[in-house]
Chain A
């Protein structure tokens, strides 16, 4: 009997440039094949080529056989018949993957009707069934919602529901969880597993995340520069990698379960934040604007950073991490709470003092392409903070080459433009710019999230070295807990604008005490198939609640896994008494350490 899918000698060119070369894959019925690689490795192009969904500038050669029948070169009519019915796709960014003007339920019903001649009403009720199957609460109601009314996690569930519509034999999932937060990712991977079981479909899972692959794939193919460099069962590839590239990749990927023994910092405090709050008004009305609500973006954040120490601020999207950073960088009095920078309280400073303070705290931004002026040579970019501080020409001429060398770039490249550098090099430019005025505290806003694993490792190493050499303190904001474990000394967890737990990184990761921290850590996949499959996940139900309202008592209680085991009186306490955060430890009335890694 033929394998379900047989790809042999697949080549893809975009405008004549090679993207995929000589890829051979086979997929048996009901099997999950993980296709892993860094950006530009050709993994997505491979998946799209199978269904003939590549854009018009792509040329495909080779052979893709589905149950023995050839798909490369097949007519559009033939491919249309197969798409959705025998092979379905789940795409990465679920907001842009739904047509914005149609209701979710109708779009799923459309997928049902594309292959089966059923009346509209019947297709609609099938859509509701499918939404129910992927765990969308009140599916009949939600089916009438438009894509923008769904959260990211719900949209991805709906996407999976749509893929299941015609009970396909093969689901191609292209980075299905990349745009999602880690606890939502855990939910979606669970749904994907359930969908696979329910339909018995084979899955081609494309991902850059080795942990996701380890948790789901039976077999793994590793791609690099358009070629498959290694292929085998998940345990073979992860435990006994043969290709040097796989070994390199596995060594480079930061792991959440590697203990580190950071030296406890003893320096004086550089940043002390207590009870920071920041709200934003919500306005309605076009002619007469009036305030109709409030977003409580930051609602009680505490932070302590000492000289020579890295504090990681972790939390999911919308938890107020970035708002906290930008509040600090304003260098003005916070809306609520107090901020002390280098012993000076913000809000009491004059202009000159604030200006002097500006030099001592600098930021590295997330997206190195968007945060560098594309029309400015990198030398000027790096010199700009110096100029703003009034440095003279001689100083600038001396500092710029030195800074470039310090971050591992060629000093002679100062007159090049940002687009002439790779992503990792651009981030180095961003770091050099921040370092130019010799700051003491560096704020790192998701500095690695736009980079590939192997580049991440290099930048991580650079940051570590700079900290040693220059005695810097880092305030790192990251959603990537594996990165946090590898660089941070201490960690502070925020949920819905409030600090819920803080402590030394090894302690918090090994023995988290707050149920939210436990859920967060348990959701992070580990690139180790054996361990990954035996971990117990603490799945949080639903999405984080809206920050536009204030919550009585503990704001986590609606999703808290501890609630089920509490007595009525204990639950009452959670509902009425806000758990206070007092220095290190967890802001939970019933905090109890639990190992989750």
Chain B
């Protein structure tokens, strides 16, 4: 009987994942339709063209709007079908209000956002987990209290304030050392040339402060969650069993403690990426990076329907992918879920 169960579990997992993926595809479709509807109803691209200097003739405005597929004199249904036809069949998300292809802009912005966030997120997650686990083991000792205090101080600091503080710190550092060691505007120094090595070094230097600002928040929040899940596990009977077996303290805390305490974190991890995407708008602006967040805010200001929809599609994909990753991670970490899920 046990053998049957085992085989069944193994064969069912991919099926389960395919089912989840299908489910997510349906949700994505719904999200895309709704965001197109919302963007088309809330934004007014006509106003953008009418406000142009020098003024455009009404027929020219109409011409531009029709070319973009956002002419409000056409029925919304037709506009949507036109857009959907191009988007779903050709992967073409249309043009921005300035006439450049959305797809190209999209690709470029994603790259920027990824480069900006990836290192900070990964670093912050790992450091947050370790710090949280460590403080849980040292509950109520001075080190735990100090980390708790620092975390809450960080969490209650708005991101723009933190970023500005980091900048100030960097300026002070640069002045004190009399160098230009820390760069914090843009992705790289304009006009810098040299080999691959120099370029890489230049980019890393530019990444330092944004990464730090992203990572600090992750560390602060993850360490709080991880501390509490770890505390739940620390009092558990199976850690006592592991000690009674004669395992060393490290093996007990890491292999049996932290490993189990990671299970409830899987949801936080995957949705953490999402939270960073939305929160990154400030980080991008302050450090002069041209990523997704900045694009979103700018396109709303310009009444740029196609760009706003594109960013929304990106957000929807991120949410659903995060959910899917959370499922995967949860199933990978917890054998009890594997059975129940299939």
Residues on A lying within 8 angstroms of B by beta carbon are 51, 53, 55, 76, 80-85, 88-89, 91, 93, 96-101, 110-111, 114-115, 138, 141-142, 144-146, 148-149, 159, 162, 165-166, 286-287
Contacts and interface: CB of A to CB of B under 8 A. Distances in A.
B245 A162 contact: yes
Interface centre among B6, B23, B247, B248 (most CB of A within 10 A): B247
B279 to A, nearest CB: 30
Contact of A82 (B6, B246, B256, B341): B246
B240 A91 contact: yes
Contacts of B335: 100-101, 146, 148
B108 interface: no
Contact of B244 (A51, A138, A149, A287): A51
Interface string B281-309: 00000000000000000000000000000
27 contacts: A55-B235, A76-B249, A80-B248, A83-B244, A84-B246, A88-B245, A91-B241, A96-B236, A96-B237, A97-B237, A97-B241, A98-B241, A99-B242, A101-B263, A101-B333, A110-B245, A111-B246, A138-B2, A142-B2, A144-B6, A146-B335, A146-B336, A148-B335, A149-B339, A159-B241, A162-B245, A287-B23
A83 B235 CA distance: 19
Contacts of B334: 100-101
A53 B263 contact: no
Contacts of B240: 53, 91, 97
Contacts of A286: 23, 341
B245 A91 contact: no
B238 interface: yes
How would you classify the secondary structure of chain B's contact residues: helix, strand, loop or mixed? helix
Nearest to B336: A148
A85 B236 CA distance: 22
A99 B260 contact: yes
Interface centre among B5, B244, B249, B259 (most CB of A within 10 A): B244
A81 B248 CA distance: 9
Contacts of B238: 96-100
Contacts of A81: 246
Nearest to A284: B342
A114 B336 contact: no
A114 B334 CA distance: 24
Contact of B3 (A88, A96, A141): A141
A100 B336 contact: yes
B246 A114 contact: yes
B63 to A, nearest CB: 46
Contacts of A100: 238, 260, 334-336
A446 to B, nearest CB: 23
B243 interface: yes
B91 to A, nearest CB: 27
Contacts of A144: 2, 6
Interface string B312-342: 0000000000000000000001111001010
Nearest to B333: A101
Given A76-B249, A84-B246, A93-B237, 15 more contacts: A51-B244, A80-B243, A81-B246, A83-B244, A88-B244, A88-B245, A97-B240, A98-B241, A99-B241, A101-B259, A110-B247, A138-B2, A145-B2, A159-B241, A287-B19
A197 to B, nearest CB: 22
B3 to A, nearest CB: 6
| Contact size range, B | 20 to 34
Contacts of B248: 80
A100 B3 CA distance: 19
Contacts of B249: 76, 80
A424 B227 CA distance: 37
A287 B25 CA distance: 13
Nearest to B239: A99
Contacts of A76: 249
A172 to B, nearest CB: 8
A55 B245 CA distance: 16
Nearest to B262: A101
A98 to B, nearest CB: 6
A99 B254 CA distance: 12
A416 B136 CA distance: 36
B246 A53 contact: no
Contact of A115 (B242, B246, B259, B260): B246
A482 to B, nearest CB: 28
Contacts of B19: 287
A144 B335 CA distance: 12
A96 B260 CA distance: 12
Nearest to B252: A80
A132 to B, nearest CB: 15
A80 B333 CA distance: 28
Contact of A85 (B235, B242, B246): B246
A142 to B, nearest CB: 6
A507 to B, nearest CB: 39
Q: When A and B form their complex, which 9 residue pairs have the shortest distance between CB atoms, in order from nearest?
A: A84-B246, A83-B246, A89-B244, A96-B237, A114-B246, A111-B245, A84-B245, A99-B238, A146-B335
Contacts of B336: 100, 146, 148
Nearest to A166: B246
A89 B3 contact: no
A88 B247 CA distance: 12
A91 B336 CA distance: 22
A289 to B, nearest CB: 13
B15 to A, nearest CB: 12
A286 to B, nearest CB: 8
Nearest to B341: A286
Contacts of B236: 96
Interface centre among A84, A88, A93 (most CB of B within 10 A): A84
Interface in B255-272: 256, 259-260, 263
Contacts of A162: 241, 245
A99 B261 CA distance: 11
Nearest to B334: A101
A83 B2 contact: no
Contacts of A101: 259-260, 263, 333-335
Contacts of B242: 99
Contacts of A146: 335-336
Interface in B198-239: 235-238
Nearest to B256: A99
Nearest to B243: A53
Contacts of B341: 286
Contact of B2 (A91, A114, A141): A141
A25 B32 CA distance: 73
A305 to B, nearest CB: 39
Contacts of B235: 55
Nearest to A77: B248
Contacts of A85: 246
Nearest to B237: A96
B228 to A, nearest CB: 18
Contacts of A84: 244-247
